[in-house]
Chain A
Amino acid sequence: MIQQYQDNLQFDTDKPILEMRDLCKSYFIGDGELKVLKNINISITPGEYVAIMGPSGSGKSTLLNMIGCLDRPTSGEYFLGGAGVSTLDDDDLSSIRGARIGFIFQSFNLISQLNIIENIQVPMFYQGLTEHESAERAIELAKMVGLGHRLKHRPTELSGGQQQRVAIARALSNDPLIILADEPTGNLDSSSGSEILDILHGLHEQGKTLIAVTHDEGIARESERVVRLFDGAIDKEEHNKKRNQR
């Protein structure tokens, strides 16, 4: 399954890297049905920088989890890199997450027992890289996010901004298809927040596909497209002409 999926990764840049058709997600609480996502239709092309915005509870995180294959839709179809993933089983979804998705979380979500290098190595470990290969790459990535001098530190010994940079390095470790960020600056002060924005911007420049859930107008301004959710449905999409102007 995965092999076939990976074979399909040879795609055109103008073909969508990600496509959702009539995707719905409901939670069933007791007898009631809570529709969190309603008929989402979205398609994102490679290299795009998309911001998802909307009021609290509008379903942004749920949508992002769906994109990141952490959750499965109640109905509708989801194609990632041209292959349908809505029907895959847990093992295949895990493989896709590990190989094709890079997650950045609001609360960093580093593993506290592990030092910086080891944290960056985690996704590579599940992809079967050797210790040597993954360590080498982890050091390279840590240097890239400006933490080359603190390789052996534990997450608790770092500031929030530094932790988020480790998380970005970790998200990049398997060279993912898409980087997903759920309020990456939500827990940061404005100066470390803007550092993170700079890194994300840099990644975009390198041609990475980025999708970020945010309340931060800064991210919205930098992105190419803003998807506004309201009550589980796409309210409107704005294409940002002023991109790359900073």
Chain B
Amino acid sequence: MFLYRLKRTVKLGIKSLWMHRLRSTLTALGIIFGVSSVIAMLAIGEGASEDAQKKIAQLGSHNIIVKTQDPPEEKSATGQQQTLKEYGLTYSDAERFRSAIPNVQVIVPNRRIAQEAQYRTHRASIEVVGTVPWYPQISTLKVQYGRYISDTDLRYKKGVCVIDEKIVKALFAFDYPIGEDIKLGTDYYRVVGVAREKDDTPESSETSSSGASSQAGANVGTIYIPLTTAKDRFGETSVQMNSTSGMIMEKVELQEIIIKVNDLSQIIPTKQSVETLLKAFHKKNDYNITVPLELMKKQQDIQRIFTIVLGSIAAISLIVGGIGIMNIMLATVSERTREIGIRRALGAKKRDIIFQFLSETFILTAAGGILGIILGLGIPYLVQYYGNMPTVVKGSSLILAFGISSAVGIIFGLYPAYRAANMDPIESLRHE
């Protein structure tokens, strides 16, 4: 009985909306754009945030990353530029962190060198990371096959290396890499393992290979060798070409030291200790401390603000759409005054009239909402496809957008429907 009424009323609503196709479409457009912009903006925002979160998460939430940075140019007393620049993190820094800071789980000192690797006739520019056997503990690196650098390798400065999958692709098209020798610089290194960084998508690899990537340029991948071997064979000085003063010699012991704490709550105090220690032993500002956890929190704050801004824009656009609907429904009601009078005379109760006009508004907004969702799904797709920006459409944002648009329809449809129901039947019948 009720369902039958509903069916009839909906049918009637569709019929009268269909009779004013252009008007209905224009009215629904407000809702369509409102809903689709909500979905699209949320998808783009969510995509950007998820991407950033992923990149940060790759740095490790329990880690504190200290990196060497080129200190600001300093002139010597004579005004001449130094020919040998000595700066950056040192082995003593790492030792001090280990002995002076409690709650440290591991400390990983790394040496990063841009190099060219060669296997038979294949060459590739790569990044060499001189590191320690416990490096995988602070990264998402997983050994796929073979093994990682061992304590023995480190102690005896062995010429072994672990390569990542991209190197395998670039150098060993079809060969099995384990046991083969790769030439780095002037020496050969035996491949003992193949490893892979989790979630290592092409876009994120540039940021995840952090440190030396800026100077290394576009490297294909990473080759891990024992830190001691790296120190021995590559030395610590490098030659940099500088446009203003020609050649400069640089001496850097370590490019980065990564400290992993046991518990998230220790991140901040540990960072402070690290800072204090570095300040005490470094005269120049030649280091830079990154805390992924802090980045993550900052990112979440930005995301929250972003969501609030988007939410208000969406709310405003939907309210504007709602006002448009109210305007049209008021016009419809006054246009159909006589029909309302007739229906009232023929036995329609006030609530029947309210129901009739409200369902018309609801159909309009629901249809607008559905079209808006379709459009709202299309925009992120195009953005991702052509703009190369990650987007994430959440089911909850679809439900939210549709729910809000329906609510807007009902709220802004109530007053016109109420007006229609409360018109005097006799006067409505007399209306021309």
Interface residues of A (CB under 8 A from B): 65, 68, 70-71, 90-91, 94-95, 97-99, 103, 105, 109-113, 122-123, 125-128, 130-131, 170, 174
Q: Which 4 A-B pairs have the closest CB atoms?
A: A98-B347, A126-B347, A123-B346, A94-B349
Distance (whole angstroms) from the CB of B279 to the closest CB of chain A: 82
Contacting residues, chain A, for B100 (C-beta < 8 A): none
Q: Which of B348, B352, B426 contacts A71 (CB 8 A)?
A: B426
A123 B347 Cβ-Cβ under 8 A: yes
Residues on A with C-beta less than 8 A from B339 are 111-113
Shortest beta-carbon distance, B283 to chain A, in Å?
87
* 16 interchain pairs, CB-CB under 8 A: A65-B426, A94-B344, A94-B348, A98-B347, A98-B348, A99-B347, A109-B338, A109-B342, A109-B345, A113-B339, A122-B343, A123-B346, A125-B5, A125-B8, A128-B1, A130-B4
Q: Please give the residue numbers on chain B whose beta carbons come within 8 Å of chain A beta carbons, in ascending order.
A: 1, 4-5, 7-8, 15-16, 19, 338-339, 341-352, 425-426, 429
List the B side residues contacting A99 at CB < 8 Å: 347
Q: How long is the Cα–Cα vector from A70 to B347 in the complex, in angstroms?
A: 10
Contact in complex: B345, A103 (CB < 8 Å) = yes
Q: How far is the CA of A95 from the CA of B351 in the complex (A)?
A: 12
Q: Which residues does chain B contribute within 8 Å of A110, judged by CB atoms?
A: 342
Q: Which residues of B contact A130 (CB under 8 A)?
A: 4
Instruction: Chain A residues near B4: list those with CB within 8 A.
Output: 130-131
Partner of A113, one of B16, B345, B350: B16
Bound Cα distance A91, B342 (Å): 16
CB <8 Å contact, B349 and A95: yes
B8 surroundings in chain A (CB, below 8 A): 125, 131
Q: Are B347 and A97 in contact (CB under 8 A)?
A: yes
**A-B contacts at CB below 8 angstroms, number:** 68
Q: Does B347 contact A94, Cβ atoms closer than 8 Å? A: yes
Once A113-B19, A128-B5, A130-B4 are accepted as A-B contacts, the answer to whether A170 and B346 lie under 8 Å apart by CB is yes
Instruction: Tell me how far the C-beta of B44 lies from the nearest C-beta in chain A, rounded to whole angstroms.
Output: 43
Instruction: Judge whether B345 and A70 touch: CB under 8 Å.
Output: yes
Contacts known (A94-B350, A131-B8); A111 close to B342, Cβ less than 8 A: yes
Among residues of B, the one whose C-beta sits closest to the C-beta of A109 is B342
Considering the chains assembled together, what is the distance between the CA atoms of A131 and B5 in angstroms? 9
Chain A neighbourhood of B351, CB < 8 A: 91
CB distance from A8 to the nearest CB of B (A): 19
Query: Given A109-B338, A128-B5, list of 12 further CB < 8 A pairs?
Result: A65-B426, A70-B345, A70-B429, A91-B350, A94-B350, A97-B347, A112-B339, A113-B16, A113-B339, A122-B343, A122-B346, A123-B346
Question: A109 touching B349 by the CB < 8 A rule?
Answer: no
User: If A70-B426, A111-B342 touch, does A91 touch B349 (CB 8 Å cutoff)?
Assistant: yes
Bound-state Cα–Cα, A131 to B12, Å: 13
Instruction: Report the minimal beta-carbon distance from A41 to chain B, rounded to whole angstroms.
Output: 23
Contact present for B346 and A98 (CB under 8 Å): yes
Complex Cα distance A70/B4, Å? 27
**Is the Cβ of B426 less than 8 Å from the Cβ of A126?**
no
Known A111-B339, A113-B15: A70·B425 in contact at CB below 8 Å: yes
Instruction: Give A118 to B426 CA distance when docked, in angstroms.
Output: 23
Q: Which residue of A lies closest to B432 (CB)?
A: A107
How many angstroms from the CA of A90 to the CA of B338 in the assembled complex?
19
| Residues of chain A lying within 8 A (CB to CB) of residue B348 | 94, 98, 126
Task: Specify the chain A residue showing the minimal Cβ separation from B16.
Answer: A113
> In the complex, what distance in Å separates the CA atom of A146 from the CA atom of B343?
24
Bound complex: CA A99 to CA B339 (Å): 19
Chain B residues within 8 Å of A112, by CB: 339
* Bound complex: CA A122 to CA B348 (Å): 9
Task: Give which listed residue, B7, B350, B429, contacts A90 with CB less than 8 A.
Answer: B350
Once the chains are docked, how many angstroms separate the CA of A26 from the CA of B261?
A: 89
Instruction: Tell me the smallest distance from the CB of A93 to a CB of chain B, in Å.
Output: 9
| Min distance, Cβ A71 to any Cβ of chain B, angstroms | 6
Question: Closest CB of chain B to A119's CB: distance in Å?
Answer: 9
Chain B contacts for A97, CB-based, 8 A: 344-347
User: Could you say which residues of chain A place their CB within 8 Å of the CB of B345?
Assistant: 68, 70, 97, 103, 109
Give the chain B neighbours of A113 by CB distance below 8 A. Answer: 15-16, 19, 339
A174 to B345 Cα, complex, angstroms: 13
CB-CB < 8 A to B5: which residues of A? 125, 128
Taking CB as reference atom, which chain A residue is nearest B351?
Answer: A91
Residues of B within 8 A of A95 (CB): 347, 349
CA A76 – CA B67 in complex, angstroms? 97
Alpha-carbon distance A131/B4, docked complex (angstroms): 8
- Cβ-defined contact, A109 with B350, below 8 A: no
Q: What's the nearest-Cβ distance from chain A to residue B20, in Å?
A: 10
